[in-house]
Chain A
Amino acid sequence: MATMNKLARILMVEDDPRDVELTLTALEEYNLANEVIVTRDGEQALDYLYYRGEYKTRSSGNPAVMLLDLKLPKVDGLEVLKQIKSDGELRMIPVVVLTSSKEEKDMVASYKLGVNAYVVKPVDFHEFVNAIKELGVFWAVINEPPPGSVRK
């Protein structure tokens, strides 16, 4: 898989640096982390998608998949999801909610807003690594992203 020259850009929205580190470690372990953009809150994530603020001059193209935490500073995950799914340009981006919360309420709300997958981060690191690996492989390699996504 690592040899497949077909890695997509992953946009990760996660405020906890430890989660970022663990996720990146998991992705690295399977060489899936060639291009992971990390944003630390909902506002930054939207800035990235809309070429605003510090991302004004970023290279063009949408991520092939977005890993979205729900509990985020400033603009929370559900709000980000809502904005993306109600935007004609962005709604095609596959969004995977990656969260600590097993609350049914959040799950229902996310699916109602049109989330593409909902993953609860397992406490066990093995399971966590497996989950990230499978997500990375599926969305960044197997899945054909919508036109306009960055894929190297």
Chain B
Amino acid sequence: MARLNLQLQFAHSPILRYGLAATSFAIALGLALLAQRYSFRNMEVALFLFAIAVTVWYAGIWPAILAVVLSSLAFNYFFTEPRYSLYVTNSELPHYAVFLLFALLLIWFSAVRRRVEQQLLQSRDELQREVVKRTEQASLLNLTHDTIFVRDMSDIISYWNRGAEELYGWRAQEAVGKHSHELLQTDFPIPIEEVRAELLHTGRWEGELRKTKADGSRVVVASRWSLRQNDGGRAVAILETNNDITEHKRREQDIQNLNQELAKRSTELESINRELETFAYSVSHDLRAPLRHMAGYAEMLQKKSSSVVDEKSNHYMAMILDSAKRMGNLIDDLLVFSRIGRAEPQKTLVSLAHLVREAITEVREDTEGRNIDWKIGALPDFYGDRSMLRLVVVNLISNAIKFTRTRTQAQIEIGYCEGNRNDLVVFVRDNGVGFDMKYVNKLFGVFQRLHPSDAFEGTGIGLATVQRIIHRHGGKVWAEGLVDSGATFYFSAPKPQGDLWQP
């Protein structure tokens, strides 16, 4: 390279080029005159031709032509008769012609040879640069974790990067030269002819392939193929990039299995729900009918015989009627409870203040003749199912009324307090008979009662229904109480989002 640069510089500077012509001519002339002096004959032609040859080689055609002209003149002046004159005799003309022809031939040969050499050097240089570039690219391909390999059009592997070594377990020197589909036992999802057709048509193909590693294990890869064409547009190689998606596929399969399992479970659940609904329906219909008949016939009996039977018998009949009525209430409450478990809450923004007013109106019958001091604070809006929330409020308020029955001055307070950041907490507090905190866990169970039913009537389903509704709204219920010192029932629910919330 250094040599080439020197030569090009030399050739590019006109002073040096023509200087070389003049110098080599001068040296040739000097030597020729010296040879003549010491009677060596006919050296001059060879020396001039040598000077011309040197000039054409190192300085190019035009300096060489200068050297030819100078040589011709010097030859004529110093070495032909009459000497020291530029006069040319006819007999010497063929000499000149031959000299000139020979010189020009020399120039032409040299010029051609020089051009060829320069082209060769240039090509070698380009080739070197290309090699450097390719080496860099190849080492870049080795840096990536992606699996990349190149194969020719008959699927013989010609390049195999480090990613390919890592994924498949064959080293580059083992893989290169092998048939790629045979080495990797590739499974195609569609016929390979179709893959090839698409590749040749669009220049690329991508899809999922199953391949085998050196250790025999199978992998699923996302494979992308690109066609490499030469300058003439002929397909010469295929570059294939593979990404191992085995784990991804396995997870996908897992998710699919889980989804199927979930779908199965939810179908089961649906059918159980349907059965439950049918069950509730028949409870509603078929249990109530005989109960109604019992009550009906007992009452008719009572009417017909009350005057003829004794007091005890009348009491028995009254108990039958009372029991039938209680069972009717139980069935009704149980149905409500079961319906809340099945129905999806239809949520809207509900004004609790409104619900409380409604509830107090609804229980008016139970408050007649009672002395109740109502303390109703500001109440927030709730996001929930109106009819369900109404049931909550009615249940809690009628509980408070019921358990303050023994008080001459009953106090019932309804208000709300801040829960944690996202919750609203509403409470209903009374000064009634209260309860022992020991049994607080039993309060919200179905059919759980903390008082004998002749003291405080009830089915034992009301608070269970309250709990179920609040749970379905994403909230909690709890209670605090002290025997003979009143009770407070709390329920919480998530605050409505944004500005909807207001106390």
Contact = CB atoms under 8 A, between A and B. Distances in A.
B373 interface: no
Nearest to B343: A104
B289 A100 contact: yes
Contacts of B295: 123-125
A100 B285 contact: yes
Given A123-B324, A124-B325, A125-B300, A99 B292 contact: no
Contacts of B171: none
A15 to B, nearest CB: 10
Interface residues of A, number: 18
A18 B335 contact: no
A99 B328 contact: no
B297 to A, nearest CB: 8
Contact of B291 (A25, A102, A103, A123): A123
B472 interface: no
A119 to B, nearest CB: 13
B62 to A, nearest CB: 111
B293 interface: yes
Contacts of B297: 18, 22
Interface residues of B, number: 22
Contacts of B328: 123-124
A126 interface: yes
A144 interface: no
Given A123-B324, A124-B328, A19 B285 contact: no
B288 interface: yes
Contact of A123 (B281, B292, B300): B292
Contacts of B292: 19, 22, 100, 121-123, 125, 128
Contacts of A124: 295, 325, 328
A101 interface: yes
Contacts of B289: 16, 18-19, 100
A102 B335 contact: yes
A128 B281 contact: no
B366 interface: no
Interface in B286-312: 286, 288-289, 291-293, 295-300
Pick the most buried of A18, A19, A123: most chain B CB atoms within 10 A of its CB.
Answer: A123
Pick the most buried of B292, B325, B332: most chain A CB atoms within 10 A of its CB.
Answer: B292
A125 B285 contact: no
Interface string B263-289: 000000000000000000100111011
A19 B335 CA distance: 22
B300 A25 contact: yes
B284 A123 contact: no
Interface in A98-128: 99-103, 121-126, 128
Interface string B237-273: 0000000000000000000000000000000000000
A101 B328 CA distance: 12
A123 to B, nearest CB: 3
A128 B296 contact: yes
Interface in A1-40: 16, 18-19, 22, 25
Given A71-B285, A102-B284, A125-B299, A22 B325 contact: no
Contacts of B327: 123
Contacts of B332: 102
A101 B281 CA distance: 7
B334 to A, nearest CB: 12
Contact of B296 (A18, A99, A100, A102): A18
Contact of A99 (B285, B293, B300): B285
A128 B300 CA distance: 12
A103 B284 contact: yes
B293 A101 contact: no
A128 B321 CA distance: 13
Interface in A71-101: 71, 99-101
A122 B324 CA distance: 11
Contacts of B298: 125
B296 A22 contact: yes
Contact of A126 (B281, B293, B299, B335): B299
Contacts of A126: 299
B386 to A, nearest CB: 15
Interface in A44-59: none
Contacts of A123: 288, 291-292, 295, 324-325, 327-328
A99 B335 CA distance: 16
A12 to B, nearest CB: 15
B300 A100 contact: no
Q: Which 6 A-B pairs have the closest CB atoms?
A: A123-B328, A125-B299, A18-B293, A125-B296, A22-B296, A101-B285
